Structure 1
Amino acid sequence: MNSSQLNSEQQKRFPGWLAVDFGTSNSTVTLFDPIEVPIAEVLPREQEMRLRDRMAQWLNSPAGIALPDVSASDWDKFIADISKNLEIEPSRLSEVFESDNRERFLEAIRQIELCLGTSDRFRRAVSKKLYQIYHEVFRVPTLESQNLIPVVLDIDRRSTEIKSELEISRLSALQLKMGREASDNRKKAIAQGTSSALKEIISRFHHSPKRYFGQDRSFPVIVDEDEETINVNQLIQAAWGHLIELTQDYRQRARRKFSEGGFLSAVVTYPTVAPPVVRKEVRELVEQLGLDDVQTAYDEAVSVAIFFLWREFGGNLNIGIESFKTRCRQEGNKWSQNVLVLDIGGGTTDLALIELTLEDKTPFFADNEDRGLGGRYYKLTPKLLGSSGHLQLGGELITLRIFRLLKVAIADFLLTAVSTGDLSSDKLEDLINSELNERFLENGQFKSGSILKCVDKENPEGDAAYKDALDTAEKVLPTRWQQAPQRLQTFYTLWDHAETAKIKLGQKTPEDGSILTFSLSEQQIYELLVQSAIKYQAKDTSSICVTIDSQQFDRAASSAIKEAIGIAKGLMDSRLRPEDTKVDSWNSHKVDWLILSGKTCNLDLVQRHIYQEFSKSPYFVWNPERITFVLEFTKLATSAGACYAEKLRRLRFDPEESKGLLRKGANQLEIDVKNLFYYLPCNFKRKTQSNELLTIFKAGQELYQLGADESVAKVRTEWQGIQLTNIIYRQDYEDGDLRLWGSFDGKTLMEKLGLSEPDFLKKIKVQFEIDQTLQFSVLLCQGNPHYLIDVSGIDVNSVISAASGTSALFADGKLKWNIAVERPHKDLNDGDIAINVIESATVDQPDAYHLVFEADKDVSKSLQEFHYLRDGSPEPGTGLISNPLPPFPKNGQHTFYVVQTDAQTNTKKWIRIGALSKPDFATDYPCQYRVSIDNYGILRMHAGEVPYWTSSDQKCLKQEGCVYRAELELQPNEVDKERDPFCGIH
């Protein structure tokens, strides 16, 4: 899709938005369309359908399955009584729940309650079963009632998921095919292809380019004899465009109604640990498709957390909120719990640790106001305590390891069969006689099992024999297609077998303890060898079979799973560990809820390793009820959660406006999604000469709006010395891996400025700035920075002059006023400036003032240089900047006073200077306010940080105090080929 195509549909704007999750293996889209709001007569539609299905399934089951703990006669009588009262045959009872007759459906549920009989045991068994059914039903996300529509992307299979495999079908305006269609076309093309055609196939088909996002990677593409060079970003952009096209197709084909208009608003998710270059490019690439409102605030782990939080409330706030509160720690009118999201997908692992705090914010009702039925207004604030993950750790890595195991097992079996005479093959005999590594030989013959044992163990990569085993298997069954495209078919055939093996062997072990197995038949092995041009003859074809079992699967897969769970455990331990080492970690905050997402979490091995690691952790109370994994939403959760989060952000309203709904008894819930962006999720460290790294930003550090013109929340370091090479690492938790985030070349800057190395290191200072999307800026200055004063203020001189007869703010070259934070029990000095004086007196706390400038203190090191845009552009001055002020009173003004001692009575009194209003601009994020006072006696209010005196010309650094803003050189997204299944070397 290109922008001109999109613009043709944009005469009208679609009133909602779409959330796109382009995954490594599979993709989904969720649409928010406000065209109509369904009114649930019984339950929201999705929950009613689940209830009907579970009831029909239960009542249609034999007694041993329906209620294992009761007698068959009791169950039969129960069914007979219900059927008699409903006037239907017992064998047709389930039809009541399958029909559209809602009154009959409700009557059937009533009869279940009425026909329980007198047996306590039977009644308890039925009650327990009904609780299980209702519990499941209330956890079904009510997508339709929230106007969220999972888009059916794969029309032929009626699936909301589509494989992320792409086929470039046209080079002009770059058009794609996607999903099973692309996969089937690849298989056909490979089967029919010649050697030259295979090169075209490699260029045209891409299993998922997402894994290469952030790399400067291009590749020639041949379609219908036309050749063009395409880069990764173009391909990913086209994939997003294609998903939007598929959404448009669904809107036109579906039976339901949709709002009209072109899609101009979108939410796009990305991996939690995606480097800044990826985060930056996501928005730009989607905007180039013609969309003008692109939100990239929600990474994949946070999106999953929001989805399951919404599911937790069950679509019914009155019930859901009370249920949620029972699982929280309560402090006053606040309830909180910690949630850990572990999302192991096809290609990536994403983690987020979030503190959820529910607060009762019901507005005040005056005595004469009707409270009605007493609904409550709640605010849920999610705070991101930390995030982490891995860009190449997921289901595909496990499949790759099973692929290697199968390949080596086949090679070992065939070489063994040739050595024993059960199989004859000239090519394999020559291999044994002339090419086989000596470690695999015994008395000149192949040593059976010698290749397999080099791979069939945990972490085989560290063994020198591992590479020899893979190289030998390649000679038997060639699949490395990077330099030999004719091997492509063998690779994909074996890859499909490995996927099937993973799914089968990853299941739960049968109750009888038997081991699961996966076998390749003689026909399947024959197909692989024919593709590799290997001929053989067998004495007994029925004996040709290669089998691997669940124990071998566990050995192959466990290292990847342990790595993912290890990251989760490291993040949890790091964030929840008490800062006071004397406090017992068993008495610290815990993870109260573990959410598992991603299809890889369906593997039984994942569940077992989670139990092994988390059951012994002091930061997690083991409770299977608080571990959530719902297979049907493992992929949809990301796009649906992001879509729902954006709905909450856009449609929030003031608690006062909810009084009408509260009177009707309806609880209201506001989820403050923006709070997720107020804290840094990880540490950033700076490389030094030694192995010790210098922490520049800490996880959990609060972000603020630094100025009225800022659109994101940020935080800055103190000014620091510069290095010739400035290297920044991201570290998600203490002792976690260091991930190169970016660098700044100081040496090049030094050469441009014409400074010697000693002068450069001595004079130039650096300050790092980071925002909520983890984008870095580098601020540079010679010496101390100067500030730009661009607001008006009030004159302190005139007040002092009237009160004391002198207007001297400075004496002996020193400023007479300095800064102090709140000092409740400190005696006042003449000349102190304070705020909140009237407020303190009102509440009988005369010393609860907030001191801003404190007199008689050496401030020579605190004086700053000021440059002016207003006040007739006076000459540069000097002044002081306060620490952040306390919150503004309700009137939106801070009133400032100066203290003076009465010469006659020797008593201290406050003299009012004047009031400064809160700057008039909308703050999207927390904002601190400061005041400055200069040598001209003017007191000014500033929103955020006082702005620097800056220039966009790098040469300004030759002038002391001028600040120059540069960008951190971003680190490209590096791909480890050993973890990339589709790079052609496996």
Structure 2
Amino acid sequence: MGLHAHFISSGPFCVEDADGGGYTLLGPLSGLVLPALRLLPAPGADVLVRQIEVIGPPGLPADRLAALREVWRGVEGRVITEAVTVGAARPVRLAPPAGGTDLPLLLLVHHHGTDTAGGQVAHTTEVTTTLHLHRAAPAVEGEPEPHARSGTWYDPSQWTLSPGGSVSAASAGDGGVSGPRPSAPGPRTGARAGGAPVRRVADDRQRHRGFAAVDFGTTNSTVTIHDMRQLDVRAMSRYQEARLRRELVDLLGDPSVPGAQRGQWRELLGDVVRQLLPEADEGGARRDEPGAVLAGALEGGHGGGGWLHALYTALELRLAARDERLRGAVAPLLHACFDRAFDELPLDVLRLFPADLDQSGGTELASRVEVVQTRPELRVRMGEERVAVGGAADGAPRAYRGLKQYLGRDLALPDLPARADGTPTTADDLIREGLRYLLDQGDEFISMNPREFHQGRIDHLVMTYPTIAPPVVRRRLRQLVGQGARGVDGLGVTLVDTQFDEAVAAALFFIMRDFGGDFAAGVEAFRARCRRLPGSGRSWEQNVLVIDVGGGTTDLALINLKLKDNTPDPGPGQDPRFTGRLYVLTPTLLGSTGHLQLGGDLMTLRLFHWYKAVFADHLLTRWPDRHERVVATLKTPYATDGQYVPGSLLARDSEAEGYPHDLVDLVVPTRWDELPPSRVREVEQTFWLLWRLAEDAKIRLGAGTEDHRPPPEALEALLTSLGVPEAGGAGWAPQLDAARFEQLMAPVLDEITDLVVALVENGLQGGDRELDRIFLSGKSSRMPLIRRALERRLRREPGVRWNSAGIAVEEQYGKLATSIGACWGHHVRRFAHDEGNAQGVLGRGRYVLRIEVDNLRYYLPCDFGATFQLGSAATPTYALLKAGDPLSPIGPGGTWAIRSKWEKQPRSLRVHRGTGTGWVEWGAFDPDDWISRREPGFLLDLEEWTKQARFQVEVDADLSLHLHLVRGEPQYELRDEPPARVDLDAGVGPDGQWTPLEIVVDTRVAGDRPDKGTVVFSVAEDPRVAGADDRVGPGGWFDLLFREAGGAGARLLRGRMSEPLPPPPHDGWSFYVRYPTQPERALELVDVLPAPRRADEGRDAAARKERRDDGVEHQEGTEYVATLDERGGLRVHRTPVPYRAAGSVAEMWDHEGAVFRVGMNDAAAAHIAERDPFNGRH
């Protein structure tokens, strides 16, 4: 009997948390409005609510608990036949519990069905929530109570919360109370003043009808906007048309083309001028150079796109009628123009628009965050500096780089004023404001192009994040952009999607590039680059590796792309030659990995240390007397007999043990983290001069320059900041050649290629699998040495089969690839054709490509392993879950997840994510810590805990971790009476011996040829057991314990669970009993069992991504199993069969077999201070 229940907000004074875990209550403590209760019965079911029971935390005063119990009791005794909302009967007087402001509640809804023929089977639905009272004002004396004889009580609509945090009366009517009442400060939440949720776009403002994707990078950020406003039908994309114009201008304006055939070519162009530009021909303007006339018309935009089409058509037609020698000379050049034009991404056709983020029209904006205002609210701008990094002067705004690496770490920034509530401003606050700035720039870009875009402010956002970032980073990103959370303010964007990490988003970009804006041509070209799958005439595949090397991070994804021709047979009267084709592209994530501090900034940092050593070497060699203390302190091999050894600082790697970093910094001071404020600005200036010098060297040498010397002005500024006497540096400049540059970059490149090899070997292991294509994206990947290092490494790996001709580097959209790919992937998920509705399109001769983007989330992208001790030496010895393991919709509400096997529970548990070259801590659980904070009244014996407790890890598609805990063997909850029974006694023959039997499902139609069916249970020996022992006997056929619903006295039954059943037929599975040793004996029908519906079936099916077809719900990935208990009860379940649930560790421990589900503590993103360029320690 199903009854789903959950809380919902009851109005503006009851604000739901962003994560749905509780409600912030506003108004005086003497009259708080609690959330409403939403009840949804199962379809077709009538449910009688017998009792509403409320359980509060220990120590809650009895009168307060009694008041809470009265709130929702108005529904008691009612028969619920459809969804109903039970509002709080009246405001409630509450007081914060001792030691906090949060009040957790457990609501028990006791109910049963109205059909009493089979007895009244009682059920209980549990609902939990937490009431946050930190924003409630003190109780108002004299305020009418609910039991007041006047018949009036407090009306919360009379009260508002002022920006200053005080509560005041909105109007003074009958029963009203006037006067301001201060509100106690508390942690900040996503609720704004007045109690309504934060909204970036107010109800009275216009929302943009599309969406945007944001890639907030360590070094640069981008925004791509998707807008479905229709374009006029054009022969070419505007991007392609502009490129073709530029290519034809170069071709037609080149007087050396086509060499010996120049005369014929000039004559041909003259004919084209007379045809398309008669006014120019009549005027005789530059008749001797018709190519220049045509090039000038192209540059001036003459005639628009139609004239361009007429021009290249005329060139093609007239060239075909000319001498073969002219055709042979010019046709390849002309076709090369077309090739380069069609290589241009048709982003306008795909309705994808990289936003201009600065006044110069640049689509990439430096992720440098400059604080421009701290009061009354924090505000920033992004981009290259207008004030010096670190502040222009005392009290001037400050600027910050590399903030992305601090996301989710709650890093306090003491140099900025505290928040309004007194808590310190953090790096997350600056990131939020940086995102606000990006969205505001996106809004401005939209408003400046009214003919291109639907107007309005962005309120639908896709956010990307580093592949290896732990769940806390993704969650914090959603909070910062969305509705916020406790202690975290949000921007109030209504729809926030974090489906794609940066590696997957970059992979989607390359998939999009392959298909372009013309699916008919793109799909055929893609198919030509694939391998046909063995045994299949209509399926092809390729394996693709995407390497995104950005400014701060490196992200990798290995993806298998399967293309299948699913074109249905032509219908009556349809000619297959003129119908379209239906292709389905299924991307499968074989694995992903990365590093949060491995990218262009780390390369620059290595050059920074080299240049710092070069300048220190120069100063110690040229002016040793100015640094006598340093020279006297240096040890061998850096000094001999009290004299500095020239070149010794450069002869050793700065990361080598014993390198004198402290002494080098005395000569070239660039560390400011421990300096007094009076010296910080001077040292910061030196740091940034040296950093820019190193960055410039990386860009130039990375592009292939043989050697590099700093520009004289940059060198002079740096030497001046180091106090070098005027003209003391004349004639000297550090020189860095390509060989030394590559040597300095080698450790970074080795780390990147180590990740590549580990990912490919793990993802393509088994069978004859080959890496077909490698795509490099990200600004840092443009450096040729990255490609060379990758090719060298792959050639040395005998276990990796790869296509050396399949490497491609994205030059034009290196940084934009991530936001463009995420934007396109989100569009495909929301608007792509379904196979079922493609028939009409195919009949019109069109190609249809369905890209199953969601499939990227259906497989685990990495290994997860557990460690059972603390310390740096503790690393997993084996994987609990492996990369490539399939997920299924087994989590709460049908979320996609996977569970490990049960393991022994240690004193402290740490779960790590595999990176291929190591392990990164991902989640933690310490039972004693949990007990002390959440269940202080429970005494835990850790010795017994390690002997009896077991754990199971659950990982969802977001890679968030939950833990299942149990004492002993887990028990499974059977919530309904069995719809069918198997007579196990029938297996006993006349001689008293057991006759082996099988329970099978058989979907044949009457009169069809016999089929063996699928064996669900094979019972070779007598499974019946005697005795009343509740434990599962070792070696017994029934190997599980089931618990029938019915409260504390529920009965335990032995049972067994099948492997997944075949897909459900229309009316359900037909179960038969078959006797394999008696083939002549007829099959005996047990019953026909339909596919069970979901436990949350009262919710909208569309919200669960299910579809209803002839009354049966389907969800991709759903599996079904059968259970058989010792009394012969046969049931079918959607997986997973629910565990017997415990509400706490104490309940789990007291009730053997009950399972407690708890979220693991988030692990902070790994942060290596030595790789953080901007922490003031370099």
1:316 paired residue number: 518
The partner residue of 1:473 within 651, 655, 664 is 664
1:415 paired residue number: 620
Change (3 A) 1:897 1:323: same
Amino acid at match of 1:139: D
**2:889 is equivalent to residue 723 of structure 1:** no
Change (3 A) 1:93 1:691: closer
**2:715 is equivalent to residue 525 of structure 1:** yes
Please show how residues 284-295 of structure 1 align to structure 2 within 5 Å.
284-288=479-483, 289-295=491-497
1:630 paired residue number: 810
The 3-state SS of whatever aligns with 1:494 is: helix
Q: What's the offset of the Cα at 1:447?
A: 2.8
Q: Distance in 2 between matches of 1:40 and 1:631?
A: 29
The 3-state SS of whatever aligns with 2:556 is: strand
The 3-state SS of whatever aligns with 2:1089 is: strand
Q: Distance in 1 between matches of 2:1159 and 2:379?
A: 35
2:918 paired residue number: 737
Change (3 A) 1:967 1:206: same
Instruction: Report the more deviating stretch, 268-277 or 969-978.
Output: 969-978
**2:578 is equivalent to residue 373 of structure 1:** yes
Q: Distance in 2 between matches of 1:255 and 1:293?
A: 23
Change (3 A) 1:967 1:849: closer
The 3-state SS of whatever aligns with 1:675 is: helix
Change (3 A) 1:664 1:981: same
Tell me the alpha carbon deviations over residues 406-441 of structure 1, each in whole angstroms, 9 at most, x when there is no partner.
Answer: 22212222333336xxxxxx634x457645545333
Amino acid at match of 2:921: L
Q: Distance in 2 between matches of 1:929 and 1:901?
A: 25
Q: Distance in 2 between matches of 1:907 and 1:974?
A: 66
2:963 paired residue number: 778
Q: Distance in 2 between matches of 1:373 and 1:870?
A: 63
Tell me the alpha carbon deviations over residues 196-231 of structure 1, each in whole angstroms, 9 at most, x when there is no partner.
Answer: x5xx76xx3211311111323212243699997212
1:21 paired residue number: 215
Instruction: Report the more deviating stretch, 614-623 or 500-509.
Output: 614-623
Q: Distance in 2 between matches of 1:865 and 1:686?
A: 27
Change (3 A) 1:173 1:307: farther
Please show how residues 807-822 of structure 1 align to structure 2 within 5 Å.
808=985
The 3-state SS of whatever aligns with 1:888 is: coil
Amino acid at match of 1:530: T
1:270 paired residue number: 465
Q: Distance in 2 between matches of 1:327 and 1:492?
A: 47
1:700 paired residue number: 884
Q: Distance in 1 between matches of 2:266 and 2:255?
A: 11
Q: Distance in 1 between matches of 2:325 and 2:630?
A: 70
Contact 1:868-1:876 within 8 A present in 2 as well: yes
Contact 2:987-2:996 within 8 A present in 1 as well: no
Q: What's the offset of the Cα at 1:597?
A: 0.3
Q: Distance in 1 between matches of 2:1047 and 2:724?
A: 92
Contact 1:339-1:592 within 8 A present in 2 as well: yes
Please show how residues 298-377 of structure 1 align to structure 2 within 5 Å.
298-331=500-533, 332=536, 333-369=538-574, 371=576, 373-377=578-582
Q: What's the offset of the Cα at 1:186?
A: 2.8
Change (3 A) 1:174 1:126: farther
The 3-state SS of whatever aligns with 1:97 is: helix
Q: What's the offset of the Cα at 1:42?
A: 0.9
**2:1034 is equivalent to residue 847 of structure 1:** no
Q: Distance in 1 between matches of 2:863 and 2:325?
A: 57
The 3-state SS of whatever aligns with 1:473 is: helix
2:1169 paired residue number: 977
Tell me the alpha carbon deviations over residues 589-636 of structure 1, each in whole angstroms, 9 at most, x when there is no partner.
Answer: 111111100111111211221221234545666656522222221111
Change (3 A) 1:415 1:120: farther
Change (3 A) 1:74 1:951: same
**2:782 is equivalent to residue 602 of structure 1:** yes
Change (3 A) 1:370 1:175: farther
Q: Distance in 2 between matches of 1:781 and 1:215?
A: 32
Instruction: Report the more deviating stretch, 939-948 or 446-455.
Output: 446-455
Amino acid at match of 1:884: P
Tell me the alpha carbon deviations over residues 333-389 of structure 1, each in whole angstroms, 9 at most, x when there is no partner.
Answer: 111000000000000000000000011112343345565722101110000000011
Change (3 A) 1:437 1:76: farther
**2:603 is equivalent to residue 398 of structure 1:** yes
Q: Distance in 2 between matches of 1:13 and 1:873?
A: 56
Q: Distance in 2 between matches of 1:598 and 1:840?
A: 62
The 3-state SS of whatever aligns with 1:710 is: helix
The partner residue of 1:543 within 721, 731, 734 is 731
Q: Distance in 1 between matches of 2:971 and 2:801?
A: 53
Contact 1:215-1:974 within 8 A present in 2 as well: no
Amino acid at match of 1:598: G
Change (3 A) 1:53 1:901: closer
Change (3 A) 1:326 1:177: same
Contact 2:922-2:1162 within 8 A present in 1 as well: yes
**2:308 is equivalent to residue 105 of structure 1:** yes
**Structure 2: unaligned runs, 5 residues or longer:** 1-189, 275-286, 484-490, 1024-1034, 1098-1105, 1107-1113
Q: Distance in 1 between matches of 2:1005 and 2:709?
A: 77
The 3-state SS of whatever aligns with 2:710 is: strand
Amino acid at match of 1:966: V
Contact 2:380-2:433 within 8 A present in 1 as well: no
Q: What's the offset of the Cα at 1:290?
A: 1.6
1:500 paired residue number: 696
Amino acid at match of 2:393: G
Change (3 A) 1:48 1:846: same
The 3-state SS of whatever aligns with 2:387 is: helix
Amino acid at match of 2:896: A
Q: What's the offset of the Cα at 1:396?
A: 0.7
Q: Distance in 1 between matches of 2:947 and 2:363?
A: 60
Contact 2:545-2:558 within 8 A present in 1 as well: yes
TM-score calculated relative to the size of structure 2:
0.72
Amino acid at match of 2:1074: V
1:653 paired residue number: 833
Contact 2:417-2:425 within 8 A present in 1 as well: no
Counting aligned pairs with the same residue, the percent is 29
**2:862 is equivalent to residue 682 of structure 1:** yes
1:490 paired residue number: 686
Please show how residues 566-965 of structure 1 align to structure 2 within 5 Å.
566-578=754-766, 588-618=768-798, 626-687=806-867, 693-706=877-890, 709-733=892-916, 736-748=917-929, 754=939, 756-791=941-976, 793-796=978-981, 800=983, 808=985, 831-838=997-1004, 842=1008, 844=1009, 846-852=1011-1017, 854=1019, 856=1021, 858=1023, 860=1036, 862-869=1038-1045, 875-889=1051-1065, 891=1066, 893-899=1068-1074, 907-917=1081-1091, 919=1093, 922=1106, 925-957=1116-1148, 958-965=1150-1157
Change (3 A) 1:719 1:432: closer
The 3-state SS of whatever aligns with 2:652 is: helix
2:90 paired residue number: none
**Structure 1: unaligned runs, 5 residues or longer:** 420-425, 510-514, 580-587, 801-806, 818-828
Contact 1:678-1:925 within 8 A present in 2 as well: no
Tell me the alpha carbon deviations over residues 650-688 of structure 1, each in whole angstroms, 9 at most, x when there is no partner.
Answer: 113332322222122211101101100111111111225
Q: What's the offset of the Cα at 1:696?
A: 0.2
Tell me the alpha carbon deviations over residues 111-130 of structure 1, each in whole angstroms, 9 at most, x when there is no partner.
Answer: 44332687767645645444
Q: Distance in 2 between matches of 1:125 and 1:793?
A: 82
Q: What's the offset of the Cα at 1:985?
A: 0.9
Contact 1:898-1:913 within 8 A present in 2 as well: no
Q: What's the offset of the Cα at 1:894?
A: 1.5
RMSD over equivalenced CA pairs, Å: 3.3
Q: Distance in 2 between matches of 1:897 and 1:79?
A: 86
Contact 1:704-1:926 within 8 A present in 2 as well: yes
The 3-state SS of whatever aligns with 1:461 is: coil
Change (3 A) 1:907 1:868: closer
Q: Distance in 1 between matches of 2:960 and 2:326?
A: 62
The 3-state SS of whatever aligns with 1:185 is: coil
2:380 paired residue number: 177
Tell me the number of residue pairs that the alignment of Structure 1 and Structure 2 aligns: 911
Q: Distance in 2 between matches of 1:836 and 1:308?
A: 46
Change (3 A) 1:121 1:305: farther
TM-score calculated relative to the size of structure 1:
0.86
2:747 paired residue number: 559
1:448 paired residue number: 646
Q: What's the offset of the Cα at 1:929?
A: 0.8
Q: What's the offset of the Cα at 1:571?
A: 0.8
